[in-house]
Amino acid sequence: MTSPFRHVLPAITTPLRADDSVDHEFLAKHAKWQLEAGCSGLIPLGSLGEGATLDFDEKVAVLRTLVAAAGSKPVLPGIAALSTRSAVSLAQAAEQAGCRGLMVLPAYVHKGELRESTTHVGAVLRATKLPCMLYNNPPAYGTDFTPSCIAELAAQHSNLVAVKESSGDARRVTAIKALVGDRLDVLVGMDDMVVEGVAAGAVGWVAGLVNAFPSESVRQFELARDGAHAEAAALYRWFLPLLRLDTVPEFVQLIKLVQQEVGQGHERVRPPRLPVQGALREQALAVVRHALTTRVALR
């Protein structure tokens, strides 16, 4: 089964209006901007997309908007829910909406034994014919799909074609590759380890700051992929203070704030999240403004 999980895939944010409804007009515009900058597809409804706070019908509406906006490019939504039954229903709805792949997460809230998480994702994988990517993010979800566990899931499910690795340890990329070879694509899931992850063998990047800097994100990945080490390092030095905004608990608010600062969105978030205030906000704004005044010219 061909994997659509390659190159730069934005973990696209969900824009909200003042009344807390989804701004579908801006969502479509934003998606097209990402794709025109060279991104290879879109990943909505993930952690950055505030999938945990969107209702089921809102999620399906987001997917329909993005499928229409993306044209020939794939929409690859995050599939996460409180229960396995709800996750299966969302996976099936995504397939019906025209999505071309799924990013499968462990269940929200419940942090049980690994066998429960593997049973959960296994049910989602069996519920669809679409190619799927497993999302491993132990700090966020309390479940660690180890390399050996990932290899077992790949042996059991032919439509599991990729892994988004967000443990923060680049050695996980090589450990997974050592067990599965080219059977699975491995993607970097944390913004501030893209160069390290690609060097270890990752073939894609599920990116966050791409929502505000898509051209720089695509260039950063391609330089790392193509072995242009000096150019990649120079761009990375400029980009890293921004990319590190993706690695703190307030990453959703901060990335939306960056979008607002560059004129590509609004910082509104779905409660219980609230826009950041105080020192954290000022520090983030200083990072963004310094980046804008020292922006690296892309070639």
**What positions carry a catalytic annotation?**
135, 164
Q: Is the dihedral of CA 9, 133, 3, 198 positive or negative?
A: positive
Q: Which two tokens stand for residue 154?
A: 């790949």
> What is the spatial distance between Cα 79 and Cα 207, in angstroms, rounded to a whole number?
17
Q: Which two tokens stand for residue 242?
A: 């921004």
> What is the spatial distance between Cα 45 and Cα 63, in angstroms, rounded to a whole number?
9
> What is the spatial distance between Cα 163 and Cα 195, in angstroms, rounded to a whole number?
17
Residue 242 to residues 12, 21, 62, 261, 281: CA-CA distances in angstroms?
Answer: 16, 28, 27, 12, 13
Residue 30 to residues 33, 69, 78: CA-CA distances in angstroms?
Answer: 5, 9, 18
Backbone angles phi, psi at 179, to 5 degrees: -90, -35
Q: Is the dihedral of CA 88, 250, 213, 227 positive or negative?
A: negative
* DSSP character string of 35-86: HHTT---BB-SSTTTTGGGS-HHHHHHHHHHHHHHHTTSPB--EE--SSHHH
